[in-house]
Amino acid sequence: MIHRLRLEIPGPGLHEFTGRAQAEVAGSGLREGLCTLFLQHTSASLVIQENADDSARRDLERWLDRLVPETDALYTHTAEGSDDMPAHIKAALTQTSLSIPVVDGRLGLGTWQGLFLWEHRRGRSSRELLIHLS
């Protein structure tokens, strides 16, 4: 079964959606199986990351921004703004799909793990995510 989830995103950075994904799993009635998440975009990504300490997210965001700066003179894909090509590179370095086991009707995440959409562009307001439960 496939569910669609629209995530409203206030801006760049890591945005947790663990609770929303868990609600979809719980509502499906699936007790054991697999939850596959797929982001239908090329300038954002999905990650499983620590959800207890905000400093871990800030450090990751700053690190990736240093690794892939907006100001690289080699970029030619710039028609949609200076953050467009860096966003594609950041998405390519991370991932656009995740698979998480479902155990006893819940996502099989560890104690400090959360699901995050990593928005790599400024000015985005929402992103579409497919949740496949099997």
All structural domains of the chain with their residue ranges: 2-133
In angstroms, what CA-CA distances link 84 with 43, 72, 75, 127, 129? Answer: 7, 12, 10, 16, 20
Please state, in angstroms and as integers, the Cα–Cα distance from residue 117 to each residue in 72, 77, 82, following that order: 25, 23, 21
- How many angstroms separate the CA atoms of 41 and 81, rounded? 17
> What are 109's two structure tokens?
């995440």
Summarize the confidence of residues 38-55 as an average pLDDT: 96
What pLDDT shows up at residue 53? 94
Give the C-alpha separation, 90 to 105, whole Å: 33
Domain 2-133 has CATH 3.40.50.720: no
Residue 20 pLDDT exceeds 80: yes
pLDDT of residue 61: 97
Residue 36's beta-bridge partner residues?
99, 132
Q: What is the pLDDT of residue 79?
A: 87
| pLDDT tens-digit map of 70-121 | 999 999 998 899 999 999 999 999 999 999 999 999 999 999 999 999 999 9
Q: What is the pTM of this model?
A: 0.94
pLDDT at site 105:
97
